[in-house]
Chain A
């Protein structure tokens, strides 16, 4: 396994006191916690410092860590031969685990209440969290995902090992970006009759080139030519459930939203949301002589002056 210098991660000396370690962690947590930090790689950095603090704040784990000796960060190493006898009974081989797993094993043996050995009492499996990235279409229709996780599992004799954990989950239709789902009992395995943990899925929905999502409602831009807005028209519009023909009434203005009822996202048994076509008036930037003449003719005959009120105000 690779060595991590927990003291260097927290920026403290190896003989730092408990208070110094706590202050260093709190200062860094304030800076790098993913909920508050905008720093690049904040989540990765925070995980690293949380792992370091988790070990160094606990006297037993800190002693065990110190007994591993000093190595360069990232250096491959194995704990000394007698290390397991003192700190990780039943740990067996140290393959397939990392440094944090080693100390999770010690935490497990301490038990939740601090007393008693892990082997004596039921232990709930850990909850796990996984990010699931799906397309807009998958979110709209619902989908199935296949996840390959790596979870910690307790040996009967108290050691821990990392095992692959495959979960296939059905994502219901209508999930939104940022939503959290739960797959009960699909986290880490419980021990001694303790319940299995849960798996939480953090849904990330990729943005769609046309549709924008707000809860169950969808928004799509509807660019119209000026004459289409004035005279009215019919537009064949894509919707996630199939194309529809949208009638645009004469005199439609820019910024108006035209509602297609029930064409939004459906969630469970609830009524689907709506799809709103947001009207934008586009003007041609290149026109030929004939078109220019028609526009000039229109300008001469029309008395439509949408900026009249502004001009009146300016004239005061």
Chain B
């Protein structure tokens, strides 16, 4: 029997994920993940809402968190600092891509 075709979902600012999904993807405890939210490394759609939801693009960040936490044994604070560098590198890479596209 042929396998059904599933939609691969884009991780962007349009689709949404729950707090539980984010915790599961990050591999951190809820407490550690809350710490990351406090540090501004993860941003809920509405920080004052009783239950947090996130733009699905934060799942990519959560998976980076999982790698940093697991592979380098970093705590939440260290992860938040490294994340800011990762973000800066991504911005620079995007800038390089743009220039390469324009210059050929």
Give Cα distance in the complex from A269 to B19, angstroms.
26
Give the B-binding residues of A (Cβ under 8 A). 22, 26, 29-30, 33, 35, 46, 50, 124, 127, 144, 146, 166-172, 175, 179-186, 198, 200-201, 212-215, 217, 219, 221, 257, 267-268, 276, 278
- Is there contact, CB below 8 Å, between A124 and B72? no
Contacting residues, chain B, for A172 (C-beta < 8 A): 7-8, 10
> Count the A-B residue pairs with Cβ separation under 8 angstroms: how many?
84
Whether B8 contacts A169 by the Cβ 8 Å rule is: yes
Is B104 a contact of A212 with CB atoms below 8 Å?
Answer: yes
Nearest 4 Cβ contacts at the A-B interface = A214-B101, A181-B8, A212-B101, A168-B5
Smallest CB separation, A261 vs chain B (Å): 17
Which residue of A127, A146, A215, A221 is within 8 Å of B104 (Cβ)?
A221
Complex contact B71–A50 (CB within 8 A): yes
Which residues in B have their C-beta under 8 angstroms from that of A257?
102
Interface size on B, residues (CB 8 A): 28
Q: Which of B4, B11, B14, B71 gathers most chain A CB within 10 Å?
A: B71
B4 and A168 within 8 A (CB):
yes
Expressed in whole angstroms, the Cα–Cα distance for A167 and B8 within the complex equals 11
Nearest CB on B from A101, distance (A): 18
Nearest-Cβ distance from residue B55 to partner chain A, whole angstroms: 13
Q: A180-B11, A212-B104, A219-B104 are in contact. Are A186 and B97 (CB under 8 A)?
A: no
Known contacts being A29-B71, A50-B71, A144-B5, is A200 close to B104, with CB within 8 Å? no
Assembly CA distance A146 to B4 (angstroms): 10
**CB closest residue in chain A, given B7:** A170
Tell me, rounded to whole Å, the shortest Cβ–Cβ distance linking B43 to chain A.
Answer: 18
Pair A268/B10 contact, Cβ less than 8 Å: yes
Q: Is B80 an interface residue, CB under 8 A from the partner? A: no
Say whether, besides A169-B5, A181-B10, A200 and B63 are in contact (CB < 8 Å): yes
Min CB–CB distance B104 → chain A (angstroms): 5
Check A170 against B104 for contact (C-beta < 8 Å). no
What separation, in Å, do the CA atoms of A182 and B4 have in the docked complex? 16
Q: For A144, list chain B residues within 8 Å (CB).
A: 5
Q: Which of B6, B9, B67 contacts A168 (CB 8 A)?
A: B6
- Tell which of B59, B67, B86 touches A182, judged by Cβ atoms closer than 8 Å: B59
Chain B residues with CB under 8 A of A168: 2-6
- Rounded to whole Å, the gap between the CB of B86 and the closest CB of chain A is 8
Please indicate the chain B residues that have their CB under 8 angstroms from the CB of A30 in the complex.
72
In the bound complex, do residue A214 and residue B98 qualify as a contact, i.e. CB atoms below 8 Å apart?
yes
Give Cα distance in the complex from A215 to B4, angstroms: 30
Distance in Å: Cβ of A52 to nearest Cβ of chain B: 13
Q: Tell me the nearest residue of chain A to B95, going by C-beta.
A: A214
Cα(A217)–Cα(B97), bound, Å: 12
Collect the chain A residues with CB atoms within 8 Å of residue B7's CB: 169-170, 172, 183
- Interchain CA distance A267-B60 in the complex, whole Å: 19
Chain B's nearest CB lies how many Å from the CB of A198?
A: 8
**A170 and B102 in contact, given A33-B72, A214-B97 (Cβ under 8 angstroms):** no
Residue B38 at the A interface, CB < 8 A? no
On chain B, the residues within 8 Å of A146 by CB distance are 3
Q: Does B84 contact A (CB under 8 A)?
A: no
- Per the bound structure, the CA–CA distance linking A166 and B5 in Å amounts to 10
Interface of chain B residues 80 through 98 with chain A (CB within 8 A): 86, 97-98
> Can you list 23 A-B pairs with a CB-CB distance of less than 8 A?
A33-B72, A35-B86, A50-B71, A127-B24, A144-B5, A166-B3, A168-B6, A169-B6, A170-B5, A179-B11, A180-B11, A181-B8, A182-B8, A183-B6, A185-B6, A212-B104, A213-B101, A214-B97, A214-B98, A219-B101, A267-B10, A276-B102, A278-B104
